[in-house]
Amino acid sequence: MSKGTYYVTTPIYYPSSKLHIGHTYTTVAADAIARYKRVTGYDVMFLTGTDEHGQKIQNVAKEKGQHPKEYLDVIVDEIKKLWETMEISYDYFIRTTDEDHKRRVAEMFKILYDKGDIYKGEYEGLYCTPCESFWTDSQLKDGKCPDCGRAVQVTKEEAYFFKLSKYQDRLLELFESQPDILEPKSRINEMINNFIKPGLEDLCVSRSTFDWGIPVPLDEKHVIYVWLDALSNYITALGYPEIKDGNFAKYWPADVHLVGKEIVRFHTIIWFSILMALEIPVPKKVFGHGWILLEGGKMSKSVGNIVDPVVLINRYGVDALKYFLLREYTFGQDGLFTNEVLLNRINADLANDLGNLVSRTVSMVEKYREGIVPKSGSATAFDEDLIQVATAASQLVDRRLDNLDFSGALEEIWKVVRRTNKYIDETMPWALAKDEANASTLDTVLYNLIEGIRIISVLIQPFLFHTSRKIWTQLNISEGELTAWDTSASFGVYPVGTTVQKGEALFPRIEIKAELEALEELSRQQMAAAQGSAPKAEEKKEIAPIKPEITIDDFAKVDLRVAKVVAAKVHPSADKLLILTLKVGNEERQVVSGIAKHFSPESLIGKEVILVANLKPVKLRGELSQGMILAATSGEQLALVTADLEDGSQVS
């Protein structure tokens, strides 16, 4: 039975084809909390989307000679693809260009207008075009936009206004009576002292100097100005103004809006006032998280560090990147990103602590008990503490996640990981195995280790989806009763007599020095490519010349097969090469491929690639290569050609 509903949102993103890991931070956090709520029995609605109107987008599309929608469709697809790669488990993706959203925002505008909370006037103000924000004199920083630091222009136009000033007292009262509504707490003082107390001015909610927006009902030379359009996505996605039935009735008010700290002002002062004017409840919480920064400033100007999430996922896997983001940084604070902190975190927590624990334990059960998990026998002096730490963890994780303390929640889980590793050192199973008289104690140790790992695997599910599944495969259990969240508070659930089986390393150890050099080189190439090859709109795209014609018979000589990568490692004497073991039907092949710069060996395991199966074998730097795999290249970029079909299948 459902424990209730849970509605979590990310901001809707400005369309950009190059989202960096800073952008993914809000979404990764929302994904973890959504997954956590689902495994703990909630009916979850997780909303994300794109914020597609405004002058800036109209200008960019015009420069490219495209209609804004045509330009946006491609970018929005790229964003969706990124979320797919990152396995973001959203339930609904809203675009502000969706017809439903546009119609509902227009209806909402009319409700506010009819009520007198929107009126027509004339605006003269200081406008920052890139931020699409009007500012008052007192809000400027050194005469420039306080958000982006760029110059502002005096702008005068006929416009519609929302009566923000009317809600000043109610806002103050809300913040004072419900201080939990905005976190971290420090941000409340900022809102009260910097914005509410100095006095709120009415908010300009329409523009007439551009037309890429939702038309104002009955006055179509105006379009609705972006924040009213953007913020309302959180309710139009639920069907507002239909509030009696459906998703609005079910999910509103939102449990939490997760936003970056720079947009807290919009999500509290402006959004809460709009909701008050619409006479619907405000969200239960807004959480303003910190920024992930690079030394010397912004992510987009990165040199030396790789901030492209796709590159990082190809090299280390999606679980490692998500874990890193949530574990390394305290959610409410800013943090510094470097490749080195990323690699150190992966090695220390994932390869060493968790990976070694699983591989050591399963190996010992295989070695000492032929893989069959024994029933506990004689007790050791360390069992009680292990059991206590392991079974207490889920409650501690619950408490941390209720406060959106992702890093703290992972730290609680890692206390169990470290406690279980320590249990191995304390009980020394390899010493117990030397003497048959200790067989019963060894049984206890092996059982407790496996059960400890089961509990860890249950707790990591919301953060490390694949890793939990990989552990279940090694422990030979499937998703269900044995992996349910509540079972992590009980010890002794793992069925005695089950046969475990060692798998690939969960997180292969990274050679930090070599990997840092590889990342730096990659970053240099990316920068060079970005500077040198950005094609201008009117330029024709250059492609490699097409080779001389062949007949169908020539082509038929090539035997292409789907092949599954079952093992991969770096070539011992050439770090640009990977040695892949491919399964092709009943046969296994070794193929040497020059793709080490683009893929880590572990990220390839399980991929179904296309093999030229009848290519004459050759030796590459001393290693036999029986065929080659197909890849597409564009400048520095490389993509493997893959097929979601059984290995051995013919490609023609």
Residues that bind ligand ME8 (CB under 6 A): 11-14, 22-23, 25-26, 51, 230-231, 233, 259-260, 262-263, 291-292, 299
Of 77 and 158, nearer to ligand ME8 (C-beta) is 77
CB of 278 to ligand ME8, least distance (A): 16
Distance CA 491, CA 508 (A): 29
Of 273 and 391, nearer to ligand ME8 (C-beta) is 273
3-class secondary structure, 489: helix
Of 21 and 396, nearer to ligand ME8 (C-beta) is 21
Torsion over CA: 123, 124, 127, 133 (sign): negative
Backbone angles phi, psi at 266, to 5 degrees: -65, -35
Query: What is the distance of C-alpha 614 from the center of its chain?
Result: 41
- Rounded alpha-carbon distances, angstroms, from residue 363 to 40, 422, 448: 32, 17, 15
Long-range contacts of 186-191 (CB under 8 A, 24+ apart): 187/261, 187/264, 187/288, 190/264, 191/264, 191/265, 191/268, 191/269
Of 261 and 454, nearer to ligand ME8 (C-beta) is 261
Of 23 and 38, nearer to ligand ME8 (C-beta) is 23
CB atoms within 10 A of CB 521: 11
Peptide bond into 184 cis (omega under 30): yes
Task: Please name which of 528, 369, 348, 334 lies closest in space to residue 421, comparing C-alpha atoms.
Answer: 348
Give the tokens for residue 514: 């070599």
Helices (H) and strands (E) in the chain, counts: 23, 25
Give the tokens for residue 484: 């349910």
Of 129 and 649, nearer to ligand ME8 (C-beta) is 129
CB atoms within 10 A of CB 197: 11
Of 214 and 373, nearer to ligand ME8 (C-beta) is 214
CB of 132 to ligand ME8, least distance (A): 9
CB of 256 to ligand ME8, least distance (A): 13
3-class secondary structure, 577: strand
Of 51 and 349, nearer to ligand ME8 (C-beta) is 51
Give me the amino acid identity at 202: D
CB of 11 to ligand ME8, least distance (A): 4
Backbone angles phi, psi at 356, to 5 degrees: -65, -35
Distance CA 75, CA 94 (A): 14
Distance CA 365, CA 384 (A): 21
Of 265 and 454, nearer to ligand ME8 (C-beta) is 265
Of 145 and 259, nearer to ligand ME8 (C-beta) is 259
Which residues fall within 8 angstroms of residue 441, CB to CB, at 6 or more apart? 377, 378, 379, 380, 427, 432
Of 159 and 230, nearer to ligand ME8 (C-beta) is 230
Give the tokens for residue 277: 């004017």
Of 20 and 454, nearer to ligand ME8 (C-beta) is 20
Of 292 and 445, nearer to ligand ME8 (C-beta) is 292
Of 10 and 457, nearer to ligand ME8 (C-beta) is 10
**Residue whose tokens read 């979404």:** 27
Query: What is the distance of C-alpha 331 from the center of its chain?
Result: 14
C-beta of residue 223 within 8 angstroms of C-beta of residue 213: yes
Size (the chain), residues: 652
CB of 62 to ligand ME8, least distance (A): 20
C-beta of residue 56 within 8 angstroms of C-beta of residue 225: no
Of 205 and 578, nearer to ligand ME8 (C-beta) is 205
Kindly give the interhelix angle for 356-369 and 439-459, rounded to the nearest 10 degrees.
150
Distance CA 347, CA 512 (A): 9
List the beta strands (DSSP E) in 88-146: 92-95, 118-128, 133-135
Distance CA 161, CA 118 (A): 5
Q: Strand pairing partners for 475?
A: none
C-beta of residue 359 within 8 angstroms of C-beta of residue 502: yes
CB of 470 to ligand ME8, least distance (A): 29
- Rounded alpha-carbon distances, angstroms, from residue 375 to 152, 379, 421, 445: 73, 12, 20, 10
Of 285 and 419, nearer to ligand ME8 (C-beta) is 285
Closest chain position to ligand ME8 (CB): 260
Which residues fall within 8 angstroms of residue 358, CB to CB, at 6 or more apart? 453, 471, 474, 506
Q: Strand pairing partners for 372?
A: 499
CB of 291 to ligand ME8, least distance (A): 4
CB of 304 to ligand ME8, least distance (A): 16
143: left (phi over 0), alpha (psi -120 to 50) or beta: left
